[in-house]
Amino acid sequence: MEERMPLIGEPLPQLEVKTTRGVKNLPGDYQGKWLVLFSHPADFTPVCTTEFVAFQNRFDEFQSLNTELMGLSIDQIFAHIKWEEWIRDNLDVEIQFPIIADDGTVGRRLGMVHPGKGSNTVRAVFIIDPKGIIRAILYYPQEMGRNFDEILRMIKALQVVDAEGVATPADWPNNELIGDRVIIPPPQDVETAAERQGQYECYDWWFCHRDL
């Protein structure tokens, strides 16, 4: 039976990958850190180049969130290295995160290769928590670049969710109803539902929110 791709809430499969920064073992080498593992269709392509610059320009902010970055495409190591050199020499941006040189094995195992879009990887993003659990998966078509501020927002929100035991509303921290407040998980019994509106600010017993 063919292995299916892992889903949100499941562990990232154990993978040994060859990267521009040496051999890495996933997710073990990143235990205790968040990891953004992302695929791009190919080196030396314009949309991918803008994405790598965008990731690198936010590198310090990702680091401040205890988050590492790792790229992937079905290209050889020498192509990754030459592309990094081109970005440095022509755009004055030094890529500081590893890029996986994949023969297609990793991309197929993680569902990054979509037959309707050819044999290259699509623009996938896996956000993996410090325990190696996949917390979010994003897919973008090859012809459309990603929103990198949204990826940062997701990591910040997931860290708040874990630390506070809450949920975050649409467009958090700029929600149209409750601003930067967070949502209390709905009660699971009648007694808690009756108490809820006296404990928090609520629209109703199932929709209560608070400041961080």
Domains and CATH numbers, the chain: 15-146 (3.40.30.10), 165-212 (3.30.1020.10)
Other CB atoms within a 10 A radius of the CB of residue 197 amount to 14
Residues 123-149 pLDDT 10s: 999 999 999 999 999 999 889 999 999
Q: Is residue 36 within 8 Å of residue 126, measured between CB atoms? A: yes
Instruction: Please name the residues in contact with 142: beta carbons below 8 A apart, sequence gap of 6 or more.
Output: 41, 47, 117, 118, 120, 122, 123
Quote the pTM value: 0.94
Residue 202 designated active-site? no
Cα–Cα distance measured from residue 101 to residue 83, given in angstroms and rounded to the nearest whole number: 13
What local confidence, expressed as pLDDT, does residue 210 receive?
97
pLDDT tens track of the chain, all 212 residues? 457 889 999 999 999 999 999 999 999 999 999 999 999 999 999 999 999 999 999 999 999 999 999 999 999 999 999 999 999 999 999 999 999 999 999 999 999 988 887 778 989 999 999 999 999 999 998 899 999 999 999 999 999 999 999 999 999 999 999 999 999 999 999 998 888 888 999 999 999 999 99
Instruction: Please name the residues in contact with 194: beta carbons below 8 A apart, sequence gap of 6 or more.
Output: 205
What local confidence, expressed as pLDDT, does residue 24 receive?
98
What local confidence, expressed as pLDDT, does residue 197 receive?
83
Instruction: Please report which helix (H) or strand (E) contains residue 46, including its range.
Output: helix 46-57
Q: Which of 26, 35, 48, 127 is catalytic?
A: 48
Residues 22-41 pLDDT 10s: 999 999 999 999 999 999 99
At CA 134, angle to CA 132 and CA 139, rounded to 5? Answer: 140
